[in-house]
Amino acid sequence: MDVTNHIFTKNQLDTIFNTVINQTLGDVDRNNVFNRTIGHDKITGIAGDVIEQSVLGYPADSYQKPDLIVDGVEVELKTTGIRKSKKNSNQYEAKEPMSITAVSPENIVTENFETSNFWHKLEHLLLVYYLYDSEKSVVASEYARFPIKGYDFHEFNDDEKEILRNDWTIVSNYIRELQTLHEIPEDFYPTISSKLRPNLMMIDTAPKWPHRPRFRLKRTAVTTLVQQHFGKNLETLDQDLNSFAEIDHQLSLFTRKYQNKTIRELLNIFSIPIKLGSKGDVAKSVTEQIVTHMFGASSHKISNIKLFSEIGLVGKTITQTTSGNRTEDTKLLSIDFEEWLDPNISYEESSLYDYFNETQFLFIIFEEQSSKDKLLDNKFKGFKRLSFNETFINDIVKSTWEDTRTTIFENQLVEINRRNTKGELIINKNGVVSTEINLPKSATHQVFLRGTGNDSSNKPVEINGIKMYRQYVWIKGTSLVALLNDISYI
């Protein structure tokens, strides 16, 4: 391989990339790479090709060698799409997971982590970020209008390296086990993704066999890289927690120490001010703040802690009765209808699928003695960690996605006036008739849609001429109880 055109100094690369920041991929395409998209709308990797061939100026090749030699160090170049965050338009998030390298059952069992192809690809990275400035999927030629927003010479710190080592080892050990136990291990390779997903922190494997999968950095891990590069501050923990087993062990210690203490007692223990609302009770959000303080952090939310952000651990508080019944449904994520209604996006490509596939939920469970109890009086019972299984994701969640799209695409969306048990119209406090939209409801779907808003005269979402509140994905309380009942307390 002739690597002459791949050798740079870091100063040279700084100069090159600083001159293209905020220019579009089309602007910098001096070698007319986008000509390849003419008549080929679905060509992939065009952004990376432009960076390599037009910005850095070296020809396309298929070698599995390092992309660059930078000051004598082998560096992997990754061109990655980012989007404006749905939660905060001033921040970015990763468009998708980041492909790393192939999962090779033939080779991985003879490798060690330090010299593995996996770590070789991740040890020294040059990440180039472009803004995927569209809510809908676009054809390859339209990438020309997407601006380059930044670049990052990235090396994982020691804690992140240990997480990646543990993740890789989990995959390697499982493949070795299959090869040891089964005469035809290939018959069992389809279980690699589904079996290991709940235990992997920063990576996953996709697609599934018989298609040969690749290691990927989870979208949550890439989002954390992106947000830190663009200035978001995340809190780091003093303790090293490099696997879910270690996290679970720590949570178990917390349970033994604090079980059956009321929220009031826990707030006092951690010196968290008790702020009462209009109903003389604290906000539900204080329970997540209690957990961050258990870990020695000061953040109010688990997602503001770097480790939990990059592994996609989401905290959810639920309150059960003494008989173990769930008291309410749980809100999960907001709906981006631009994406949901994009006919070119499949369910497996959607943020809904990514959310259920990647997210690990840490349920913080409290118990109320009676329905009249204040939140302050609820008792801490422990933790359960939930990763939705593939049947739930591919059947139950997918049906909500498909039913929503069908209702809207086939022009079946309607707004219905709500009536009470006497058949009378329900009137809101502002005099507006209360209505509902015939999107998937909890009566028919375990995962359903529900609008949220403070004023029925302000409905910012409009679809097929019908105005509605911002819609969110929820999971039915009884369904969640059923899932959690199958999981032991940590």
Are 225 and 268 in the same domain?
no
Q: State phi, psi for 232 to the nearest 5 degrees.
A: -75, 135
Residue 4: pLDDT over 60: no
Are 32 and 145 part of one and the same domain? yes
> What is the tens place of the pLDDT at every residue in 62-104?
555 667 999 999 999 999 999 998 778 789 999 999 999 999 9
- Give me the pLDDT at residue 65, please: 61
For residues 147 and 97, membership in a common domain is answered with yes
Boundary (domain end) residue, out of 198, 229, 260: 229
Kindly give, in sequence order, each residue whose CB lies less than 8 Å from that of residue 11, ignoring residues fewer than 6 positions away.
none
CATH of the domain at 322: 3.40.600.10
pLDDT tens for 208-261 read: 888 889 999 999 999 999 999 999 999 999 989 999 999 999 999 999 999 999
Residues 218 and 247 in one domain: no
Per-residue pLDDT, 443: 92
Q: Are residues 261 and 192 in the same domain?
A: no
pLDDT tens-digit map of 296-343 = 999 999 999 999 999 999 999 888 877 766 667 899 999 989 889 999
Give the least confident one: 30-39, 151-160, 368-377: 368-377
- Both 184 and 274 in a single domain? no
More confident residue, 135 or 412: 412
Domain end among 186, 211, 229: 229
Asked if 373 and 272 sit in the same domain, the reply is: yes
Is 145 in the same domain as 241?
A: no
Separation between Cα atoms, residue 179 and residue 186, nearest integer Å:
8
Q: How many domains does the chain have?
A: 2
- Cβ–Cβ under 8 Å, residues 447 and 398: no
| Per-residue pLDDT at 345 exceeds 80 | yes
Estimate to the nearest angstrom the gap between the alpha carbon of 353 and the chain centroid: 9
On whether both 243 and 177 belong to a single domain, the answer is: no
Residue of higher predicted confidence among 415 and 160: 160
User: Are 139 and 247 members of one domain?
Assistant: no
Give the domain-ending residue among 209, 229, 249: 229
Q: Is the pLDDT of residue 456 over 90?
A: no
Instruction: Evaluate if residue 2 carries a pLDDT over 60.
Output: no
Report pLDDT for 411: 93
Alpha carbon distances (Å) from 242 to 115, 204, 458: 20, 16, 46
Lowest mean pLDDT across 56-60, 268-272, 372-376: 56-60
Structural domain span for residue 460:
235-490
486, 405: one domain: yes
First to last CA, the chain: 52
Q: How confident is the model at residue 1 (pLDDT cuts 50, 70, 90)?
A: very low
Task: Determine contact, residues 434/456, Cβ cutoff 8 Å.
Answer: yes
Say whether both 250 and 160 belong to one domain.
no
Average predicted confidence (pLDDT) for the chain: 91
